[in-house]
Amino acid sequence: MHDLSFHSIVRMTSRSRRGFTLVEMLVVIAMIIVLLSLLLVGLNFATRTAQSANTRVLMQSMKQALVRFQEDVGYLPPVLDEERRLVEGPSPSLSGAQYRTEIQGWHSCTSLAEYLIGYGQNVQDGYGSTDLGEVPFTGIRSPGLDGVWGAGFGPIADRNPVITGRVYGPYFQLEDERLLGGLTPGGDIVFRDQDPDFDSYPKVIVDYWGRPIEYFRRNYPPGAITQSYRAVDYDGDGNLDAVPTLSGVIRLRPFELPVGAGTDVPAFLADDRDDRTTSVALQSAEFALFSPGPDGGFTSLYRYDVSIDPTGATPEELNRDNIVEVGP
């Protein structure tokens, strides 16, 4: 055996204690960044998936509540505007192009909270005591034949509810108060912990991204929300034509349809790519609920996503993640 000299031991110790080089440190940092990026992407995907699933469950519960409401009063809630005023749908006497344009925007985000939960005031729906504020706060009286507590087709100030009558609801209870928003006059959504005037705003039920869930129902004749258009003479030939269904709202149409599972809408309701396909379920539906999904976007021009790039290289996927719940 050879004895190790003192100098040999010092040289070996020096080599064993040599630190990372700059290049090695940069490689390690880069690897950490890549791993963190992958982790963040995975977490973001998992969050979006969970939010989508929760929104679907929420909308399915709202669908069931709407069915129960219809069973009780005989009709579906009307379409209200952002100030909770009753609005009429597009007239079938409009030209095809006009009807197609107007039906895209005929929906409500305030009907659901008012009719399913009962977020209103005694002077509007005849429910609750006003001596010490609105007590209880949720629930409604029977809306009556006109559906809006005696107001007919007019602004909310014209409502004149009958104080007596059966009490309904709430048909739907929010497990999470963060899903109830207030709609400001400017169109912003605020929540109870953000705005001291929250109670004074019209209420909306929001999805898990904080955007109002929209409510669509079949077009009803003026002053008759208890019924829906079924036939009208569109072309003036003296014959009744089938009235467009909810398939007239392009954003409600399925993004994709299995082969043989679709049907057609009238030619004047074709989208901007002359696509007339829709689902059988949407053709027969009485109402529908809509969330734009994780990206918050949609288009009412195309049933399915198209490229806005002339080369076709950059498709704009706005409608693929839309969430639609169709009622019976």
Segment (H or E) for 193: none
pLDDT at position 250: 94
Task: Show the tokens assigned to 115.
Answer: 């009719």
Extents of the domains making up the chain: 38-326
CA distance 104 to 303: 12
CA distance 116 to 169: 7
pLDDT at position 314: 58
Q: Tens digit of pLDDT per residue, the chain (328 long)?
A: 455 555 554 455 555 555 668 787 888 888 888 888 777 767 676 777 888 999 999 999 999 999 999 999 999 999 999 988 888 888 877 878 888 999 999 999 999 999 999 988 887 888 887 666 677 878 898 888 888 888 776 666 677 887 777 888 899 998 888 999 999 999 999 998 889 999 889 999 999 999 999 999 998 887 788 888 777 666 667 776 667 789 999 999 998 887 777 888 888 889 988 889 999 999 999 999 999 999 898 989 988 766 666 665 555 678 889 999 999 8
pLDDT at position 43: 67
CA distance 27 to 96: 64
pLDDT at position 12: 52
pLDDT at position 135: 78
DSSP 208: T
118-124-126-132 Cα dihedral, nearest 10 degrees: 80
User: CA 108: distance to chain centroid?
Assistant: 10
Q: Which residues contact 144 (CB under 8 A, 6 or more apart)?
A: 150, 162, 165
pTM: 0.83
pLDDT at position 2: 53
Please give the single-letter amino acid code of residue 149. W
